[in-house]
Amino acid sequence: MSISIITTTLEKVLGVEPIKIKPALSVEDFKIVIEDEEEEKPRHVEVKKIIEDPSIGGIQYPCGEYIQQSLPGIRRMGKIIRNYFNKEKEIVLLCSGSSGAIISALLVPILSTNKRTVWIVHAPKEGEHPHRASSELYERRIRLNRMKPATIFVDDFIRSGSTLERCIKTYDGPINGIVVGEDVNQYILNRVLKQDTLDLVACVRFYRDDE
């Protein structure tokens, strides 16, 4: 006798609700579908032009105490920027701290021409308060971004990348180059920059991902 007949007879005799018999579980019910998640590829910022030049490595720290000794390296920085970004009408020098500000100020007469304007955007460190109102600085930043200038981060060195990160956050726009007086590590660029390409890196030595 089949299960369905027994069930029907019991229902009539006992007057109970129909018994719902679940179908047997199939192999499909035990299948666990595991979707292989694509591993997130590590970021890699492509640098179009890398200039390794030991002559820009003479910038001493703190720059304010060793300006005379640092001048040859700063002049070399200026020549590299001027030669590479020779078509841009506007240049923004992005910096932070006293060394960055001094280097940027000394670069201005090297880069300025009758047809080119050089701007300095200084990112304040934590605890520093610029004299201008934040709204005025914001409007200036918007104007600079609209001009689509060549924006170059300059400093005596890059270690952790915190200064570069602060400058990028302040400027709030893409940068075109990094020119510093020491070595640069690709890892720092990959970690800090939000863009996929960078036009220029000029430093004493550039360490790639595989080095």
Q: Domains plus CATH for the chain?
A: 46-207 (3.40.50)
CA distance 64 to 66: 6
Per-residue pLDDT at 23: 56
Higher pLDDT, 125 or 27: 125
Per-residue pLDDT at 31: 52
pLDDT, tens digit, for every residue of 120-148? 999 988 766 665 555 555 566 656 666 78
Beta-carbon contacts of 51 under 8 Å, excluding residues fewer than 6 positions away, are 80, 84, 200, 201, 202, 203
What is the rounded radius of gyration, in angstroms, for the C-alpha atoms of the chain? 32
Per-residue pLDDT at 43: 84
CA distance 6 to 2: 7
Q: Which residues on neighbouring strands pair with residue 118, listed in sequence order?
A: 91
Q: Is residue 184 very low, low, confident or very high in pLDDT (cuts 50, 70, 90)?
A: very high
Instruction: Judge whether residue 6 has pLDDT over 50.
Output: no
Residue 9 CA to its chain's centroid (Å): 76
Greatest mean pLDDT among 8-17, 23-32, 54-63: 54-63
Instruction: Judge whether residue 118 has pLDDT over 80.
Output: yes
CA distance 201 to 28: 57
Per-residue pLDDT at 42: 76
Write down the mean pLDDT value for the chain. 82
Instruction: Judge whether residue 36 has pLDDT over 50.
Output: no
Range list of H helices, 44-171: 67-84, 97-111, 134-147, 162-171
Q: Which residues on neighbouring strands pair with residue 146, listed in sequence order?
A: none
Phi, psi of 128 (to 5 degrees): -85, 145
Spatial contact of 184 and 157, defined as CB atoms under 8 Å apart: no
pLDDT, tens digit, for every residue of 77-117? 999 999 999 888 899 999 999 999 999 999 999 999 888 88
Higher pLDDT, 141 or 164: 164
